[in-house]
Chain A
Amino acid sequence: MQTKSSTSPTPASGAAPVDTSLASVVARIGQAREFGLLVVLAVIIAFVGVQQPRFLQISNFEHILQSIAIIAIVAVGETLVILTRNVDLSVGSVVGFSAFASANLLKNHPSLNLLLVFLFGCAIGAVLGAVNGLLVAYAGIPAIVVTLGTLNIYRGLDFAVAGGSEVSAFQVPTAFLNIAGDYVLGIPLLVIIAAAIALIAGYFLRYSRQGRQLYAIGSNPDAARVVGIRKSRLTFMAFLTTGILSGFAGVLWASYFATINSGAAGGLELLVIAAVVVGGVNIFGGSGTMLGAMLGAIVLGVIQNALGVLRVDQFWLQAIYGAAILIAVTLDALVTRQVQRLLIARRAQRE
């Protein structure tokens, strides 16, 4: 009539050797994303280069990297936050507030040590980031709500402090303005700073326990709790770090653009999030790399520059950014689904 379950026939392939080909293919999908971005970059560069050879000049690439350096610094922080399944929409306002406050500080105290100005910007960012972090990590309010609120509040503070005034290039020391335009060993200083920050953060993400725990939180918050990860604390730290980096970026912004009013860096958050998402960091947390996010920023910078070189109306820029995000996210979803299907098919075959 009926056989007992434990005597069911042994699946022949239960002890099959490690499926290295498939396993390694899947394991490399993460890297494949970065590889895909490199391909996209190469295609754009080749396409534009053929039409406008001056696009290919070294100085142009220098210019591109310089133009995205500040975005990249903020994107480093945003990546940490997005990995934990959160988002920080307030970064543009933090950059703007820090930019005006530090320029204004220098205007009033021109002889101030520039290092102190940077510390001042970082401190502002730390406070604003800590407010976000407290509300998200400890009060449990969704990040999108918290940071949409603080986006407006921080901008409002900026208006209140600036009161319609602006700090002009001639009102701050030239030494300060020179920072953003400086070169070290023939490389723009901004690019070196951004690269150094990205390298440190990338190392942290890959090689520290806390860095790995950020992935764990975003991948499965409940499982993270079970293995004893302090989710609130790490989430708070991610927001705090993003605040500090945004504050720091704000000082660079003031140096780069020289003339600052209360509207500085408005809408920057969208560029930053675009860079991170185009770079393959999953908006639902848990996966993505710092290298990817930086490549995402570079792709956006190259697109912007290419449009200029090709004399495409700047009007199109936003639409093209939007399209880049949609394409990146859609591709990501399609690839993930396809791989999943492939794996299920393989598994069914084994059984």
Chain B
Amino acid sequence: MTPAPPLAALRDITKRFGDVEVLRQVSFPLCAGEVHALVGENGAGKSTLVKILAGVHAPDGGSVLLDDQPVTLHNPAQAQRLGIAVIHQQPSLFPDLDVAENIYMGRQPLGAMRQVDWALMYREVNALLHRLDAHFDARTPVRSLSIADQQLIEIAKALSMTTRVLVMDEPTAALSGREVEDLFAIVRQLREQGVAVLFITHRLEEIYDLADRVTVLRDGAHILTKPIGEVTQAELIRAMVGRDMSALFPKQTTSIGTVALEVRGLTRKGEFRDVSFQAHRGEILGFAGLVGAGRTEVARAIFGLEPLDAGEIMLDGQPVSIHAPADAMRHGIAYVPEDRYEHGLVRQFPIVTNVTMPIWRAVSNRLGIVNTRRERDIATDYFNRLQIRATGIEQLTQSLSGGNQQKVVISKWLATHPQVLILDEPTRGIDIGAKAEVHRLISQLAAEGIAILMISSELPEVLGMSDRILVMHEGTIAGEFSRDDADQERIMAAAIGQAEGEPHAN
């Protein structure tokens, strides 16, 4: 292929959220008739970049160029008018309306009296859907469609406009093998037509299958941009994870005890299948994998937040049935969710109330009246033990820092005296100093004989903290590593579904 002039380009894009710099001077071109793959670990800044191109976020520095001219993208509609179509990871559609209106909302074809020409709109959308080989028609209500079908609608929408730059944020994450092939055929067709495609994916084999050029981001920095023929898969993985283990993880050596939790064949349709593992007392069992690999879903199922289609949960060798969080709590399981704002804290309540919330029965008398002194004693105990930094247990949790909020959430679950503690992304959004404290706390809890399941998307954290690591990929356990065997490359390879030592097929 002759080198095409860049249709669009990013120049020194920088973006900050608060004090965190999520993108640092990222520059790369998007050429007409080229598929450009963008890869990087979770949190590398890919989604932020997509949102800048979509006109959702404005960059703090640098600019987006179209035909060598800097453009300001004030809002998504304007980006669309300039020919930049973005297909987000999560389709954002109107569930109450039909497929045709979702594709043409705001720009429906009009008839002679400026009335919406429904017949014409249905004809055009049906033609589009036929091209995409869809199994639904223009009149189908979107509410009734699967995520994959909704994804297809987003693609149809992009096809229905004059699209010069098409940005696809992990479009294949929810698609089956055949659907992926269909999608690739469409993308290739668009490439032929001179569209510049930016394709974000976690699946390396897709990059080699489809892309002409690849860019790697890591921690918000631009690591490399190369033609796909000039970079091997091993190089790519190294570029994605190649971070030194500078952060110190205060992992104590603990004596691993008996099996506290065992699960066999856990399956939930569409989320995960045949997940089996054991967790021992005193052990930190790390769960690595990409976002969406099913780790959180497994944790939620064990805690009774989501029903299981199949599988067994055993505690201390005894099968237990868990249908609701109350069951799980009764059996000594605690779950610190990923999103502490959404599911972990009542932010308008003080520390003391948050800590004693799951044990209100224990701190109240027979009539359900709370014994405030007992409540305060318990809260004060954890307040001191976990070294929560606040003016006192009466401080509202909304005014605490992220690290201290997380300690309150952990206190809350420790108050239930769990045998098994599940931590989902325990240090996400917490600054470095507080991170180390949370890590020390986790380690200390393991030393006290609690079995800890720690889900984390940060490889250094998983490697530094875990006694044993399970890697999940697309709903199954794709690898298990002992602390000594694990390294970033091997875990990453398992997380993207690349079996060990298997050479990639070009």
Indicate if A207 sits at the interface (CB-CB under 8 A).
yes
Q: Are A286 and B177 in contact (CB-based, < 8 A)?
A: no
Indicate if A161 sits at the interface (CB-CB under 8 A).
no
Indicate if B137 sits at the interface (CB-CB under 8 A).
yes
A336 nearest CB across to chain B (Å): 8
Q: Which residues of A contact B93 (CB under 8 A)?
A: 220, 223
Q: Which of A8, A213, A218, A222 contacts B176 (CB 8 A)?
A: A8
- A-contact 0/1 string along B92-133, CB 8 Å cutoff: 111111100100011110100011100000000000000001
Indicate if A14 sits at the interface (CB-CB under 8 A).
yes
- B-contact 0/1 string along A1-18, CB 8 Å cutoff: 110111111110111111
Q: Are A27 and B76 in contact (CB-based, < 8 A)?
A: no
Indicate if B297 sits at the interface (CB-CB under 8 A).
no
Q: Are B141 and A27 in contact (CB-based, < 8 A)?
A: yes
Q: Are A16 and B135 in contact (CB-based, < 8 A)?
A: yes
Indicate if A339 sits at the interface (CB-CB under 8 A).
yes
Q: Which residues of A contact B140 (CB under 8 A)?
A: 23, 26-27
Q: Which of A10, A208, A224 contacts B115 (CB 8 A)?
A: A208
Q: Are B96 and A219 in contact (CB-based, < 8 A)?
A: yes
Q: How far is the CA of A347 from the CA of B269 in the complex (A)?
A: 12
Indicate if B499 sits at the interface (CB-CB under 8 A).
yes
Q: How far is the CA of A5 from the CA of B498 in the complex (A)?
A: 9
Indicate if A226 sits at the interface (CB-CB under 8 A).
yes
Chain B residues 63 to 77 lying within 8 A of chain A, measured CB to CB, are: 75-77
Q: Are A1 and B106 in contact (CB-based, < 8 A)?
A: no
Indicate if A215 sits at the interface (CB-CB under 8 A).
yes
- B-contact 0/1 string along A335-348, CB 8 Å cutoff: 00001100100011
Q: How far is the CA of A343 from the CA of B142 in the complex (A)?
A: 12
Given A2-B499, A19-B135 in contact, is the A220-B95 Cβ separation under 8 Å?
Answer: yes
Q: Are B92 and A207 in contact (CB-based, < 8 A)?
A: no
Q: Are B139 and A24 in contact (CB-based, < 8 A)?
A: yes
Q: How far is the CA of A5 from the CA of B473 in the complex (A)?
A: 10
Q: Which residues of A contact B143 (CB under 8 A)?
A: 340
Chain A residue with minimal CB distance to B80? A228
Q: Which residues of B contact A2 (CB under 8 A)?
A: 478, 497, 499
Indicate if A227 sits at the interface (CB-CB under 8 A).
yes
Q: Are B97 and A6 in contact (CB-based, < 8 A)?
A: no
Q: Are B203 and A5 in contact (CB-based, < 8 A)?
A: yes
Q: Are A220 and B94 in contact (CB-based, < 8 A)?
A: yes
Q: Are A216 and B97 in contact (CB-based, < 8 A)?
A: yes
Q: Are B115 and A227 in contact (CB-based, < 8 A)?
A: no
Q: Which of A7, A13, A219 contacts B97 (CB 8 A)?
A: A219
Q: Which of A215, A219, A348 contacts B269 (CB 8 A)?
A: A348
Q: How far is the CA of A107 from the CA of B78 in the complex (A)?
A: 55
Q: How far is the CA of A219 from the CA of B94 in the complex (A)?
A: 5
Given A229-B106, A347-B146 in contact, is the A208-B116 Cβ separation under 8 Å?
Answer: yes
Given A17-B135, A23-B137 in contact, is the A209-B92 Cβ separation under 8 Å?
Answer: no
Indicate if A109 sits at the interface (CB-CB under 8 A).
no
Q: Which residues of B contact A26 (CB under 8 A)?
A: 140-141, 144
Q: Which residues of B contact A208 (CB under 8 A)?
A: 114-116
B28 nearest CB across to chain A (Å): 25
Q: How large is the interface on B (under 10, 10 to 19, 20 to 34, 35 or more residues)?
A: 35 or more
Indicate if A212 sits at the interface (CB-CB under 8 A).
yes
Indicate if B271 sits at the interface (CB-CB under 8 A).
no
Indicate if B205 sits at the interface (CB-CB under 8 A).
yes
Q: Which of A7, A14, A212, A339 contacts B108 (CB 8 A)?
A: A212
Q: How far is the CA of A110 from the CA of B56 in the complex (A)?
A: 59
B50 nearest CB across to chain A (Å): 13
Q: Are B77 and A227 in contact (CB-based, < 8 A)?
A: yes
Given A14-B135, A23-B140, A209-B116 in contact, is the A282-B96 Cβ separation under 8 Å?
Answer: yes
Indicate if B431 sits at the interface (CB-CB under 8 A).
no
B17 nearest CB across to chain A (Å): 19
Q: Which of A11, A16, A23, A229 contacts B105 (CB 8 A)?
A: A229
Q: Are A219 and B106 in contact (CB-based, < 8 A)?
A: no
Q: How far is the CA of A216 from the CA of B98 in the complex (A)?
A: 11
Given A222-B92, A223-B93 in contact, is the A18-B76 Cβ separation under 8 Å?
Answer: no
Q: Which of B105, B146, B179, B269 contacts A227 (CB 8 A)?
A: B105
B167 nearest CB across to chain A (Å): 13
Q: Are A6 and B206 in contact (CB-based, < 8 A)?
A: yes
Chain B residue with minimal CB distance to A225? B76
Q: Which residues of B contact A16 (CB under 8 A)?
A: 135
Indicate if A287 sits at the interface (CB-CB under 8 A).
yes
Q: Are A23 and B136 in contact (CB-based, < 8 A)?
A: yes
Q: Are B98 and A27 in contact (CB-based, < 8 A)?
A: yes
Q: Most B CB atoms within 10 A — which of A5, A213, A220, A225?
A: A5
- Complex A-B: 26 CB contacts under 8 Å: A2-B497, A2-B499, A4-B205, A5-B203, A5-B473, A8-B177, A9-B177, A10-B176, A14-B182, A15-B135, A15-B178, A18-B136, A23-B137, A23-B140, A24-B139, A27-B98, A209-B108, A216-B105, A220-B92, A225-B75, A226-B77, A228-B75, A229-B105, A340-B143, A340-B144, A347-B146
Residues of chain B whose beta carbon lies under 8 Å from any beta carbon of chain A: 56, 75-78, 80, 92-98, 101, 105-108, 110, 114-116, 133, 135-137, 139-141, 143-144, 146, 176-182, 203, 205-206, 209, 269, 473-474, 478, 497-500
